[in-house]
Amino acid sequence: MLTGHHLIAGRETTTQHAPFQAVNPTTNQPMEPSFSEATAAEADEALRAADGAFDALRGASVETRAAFLETLAEEILALGDALLERAHAETALPMARLTGERGRAVNQCRMFAALIREGSWSEASIDRAQPDRQPLPKPDVRRVLQPIGPVVVFGASNFPFAIGVVGTDSVCALAAGCPVVVKAHPAHPGTCEMLSRAVFQALQKSGLPQGSFSMLQGRSHDIGIELVRHPLTQAVAFTGSLRGGRALMDVAAARPHPIPVYAEMGSVNPVFVLPGALKARAAQMAEAYIGSVTMGVGQFCTNPAMVLGVKSPELTEFVRAAGEQAQKIAPQTMLHRGICETYEAGTAVWHTISGLRLAGQSAQSPDHDATQAACRIFTAPLDVLQSNEELQREVFGPCSIIAESDSMEAVLEFARGLEGQLTAAIHGTPDDLRENAELVRILERKVGRLIFNGFGTGIEPCPSMHHGGPYPAASHSYFTSIGTGSIHRFVRPVCYQGFPDDCLPEALQNANPRGQMRLLDGSLTREPVAG
């Protein structure tokens, strides 16, 4: 039973301030119950509870935190079909997609449980004392990563499970020992409430403090700004638009004590098609390309919004085949009316640009009452993209531009001028790749993930994944928001010099009780430190 209440440290609260409702994007009808805008007082209560819980959460044993994450996985599954049905009604995402995404969220919980049990993520490092060293003795110095404190999480509209209340940001922060305050997404507030209750159940069963987690609802920007400004907030995780992420970054930077905002803000994810691939499989590539553009109605931050190639009969065939495939794509309902209206406005601007022509679009007209979007594929000479900055910005939805260049040198020059991207893909043969090594070198400076003969849509959460990139794709190119490396956003190194062994954090104690990998006098080992 949904209440529409905020959930603060295990307690339900509501002020009935600025009430709002979720809207079913397929019917555009409001859904029960009514939710309310959280107030500054409620934000303060949530963050004070988080700060109060911090020492107990970070002081809990690794096994307790790992067991909590595994219990959370079970609590998510225990919500059953009711969770899927509510998420489907609020987002219009297909049930099959939501079922798969729920599995991803559950697996992430278990993945981080395994990560913290294994322990090497904490980068424990020990340099033993050398009291007889000349000309000066060397002290005993040890270092390990420690949690930073309360983290504020802004979930994504397009991933209500995997990048939301129980998504990577929340789960890895809790795994590290950081309390979390989630700003629920106003497009799926009911889903957020259900998942938040699962977190509280897991905390209760694990004996961890309820203040470790809170969830506040809100449709305006005000509550988000309050959470970022609050002096107890130590870091912010955000997935969304460049405009939204940049606004939070500016608020965080203006604080008396600035804090990091780890923002993933999307990109155009350029695809470079090289001659060998075009000659071998232009039609097949076009089909895969349209499949990637329209996956999830184009509502992925890694959507391939731009393709670049050198003019040739094979590239012409690729454009023709892509346009033909686009016609076969039926319009689909987007996440909410605001996203759909922004998509329509963005592609309407494209229609007005001289030199840009429509290569193909969905044969069926979209039903705007059902928040539907049609696939639209455009093509243009490369110089049209170079002279129109608006064509180099993300339009969120099932659209893309194929740019035709007179030479590979022009393609390389365009690549050098690209802003930071989450992904870039190169399609070709191994010989193409070797002959275009310069393109690879350029893209290594521009993107977070470089793909050969594939597309950016579809992300594997694993230790090797990097989901980020140079600004404006993300706020900091070093950090990832997907995969086990994401935990490093919410920790910092603490160094201990000359401490008695029993007063050190477990990861730095001589006996190495968890048997984790550590750097001992410059060499990696799981061995204990001798007497």
What positions carry a catalytic annotation?
264, 301
Determine if residue 101 is left, alpha or beta; phi over 0 gives left, psi from -120 to 50 gives alpha, anything else beta.
Answer: alpha
Concatenate the DSSP letters of all residues of 168-225 into one string: HHHHHHHHHT--EEEE--TTSHHHHHHHHHHHHHHHHHHT--GGGEEEE--SSSHHHH
For residue 142, report the phi and psi dihedrals to the nearest 5 degrees: -135, 145
Residue for token digits 């998509």?
Answer: 343
The token pair at 470 is 């140079």
Distance CA 454, CA 233 (A): 39
| Nearest alpha carbon to residue 174 among 237, 216, 241 | 237
What is the strand order of the sheet 518-520 is part of? 491-497, 141-147, 125-127, 518-520, 523-525
- Tell me the Cα Rg of the chain: 25
Secondary structure (H, E, C), 13-47: ECCCCCCECCEECCCCEECCCCECCCCHHHHHHHH
| Nearest alpha carbon to residue 266 among 371, 172, 163, 352 | 163
Distance CA 34, CA 23 (A): 11
Distance CA 202, CA 215 (A): 15
Concatenate the DSSP letters of all residues of 295-356 into one string: GGGG--TT---EEEEE-SHHHHHHHHHHHHHHHTPPPEE-S-HHHHHHHHHHHHHHHTSTT-
Q: Which residues pair with residue 13 across a beta bridge?
A: 6
For residue 102, report the phi and psi dihedrals to the nearest 5 degrees: -60, -40
For residue 323, report the phi and psi dihedrals to the nearest 5 degrees: -65, -40
Strand 180-183 with 151-154, pairing: parallel
- How many helical (H) and strand (E) elements, i.e. helices and strands, does the chain have? 15, 23
Distance CA 275, CA 226 (A): 52
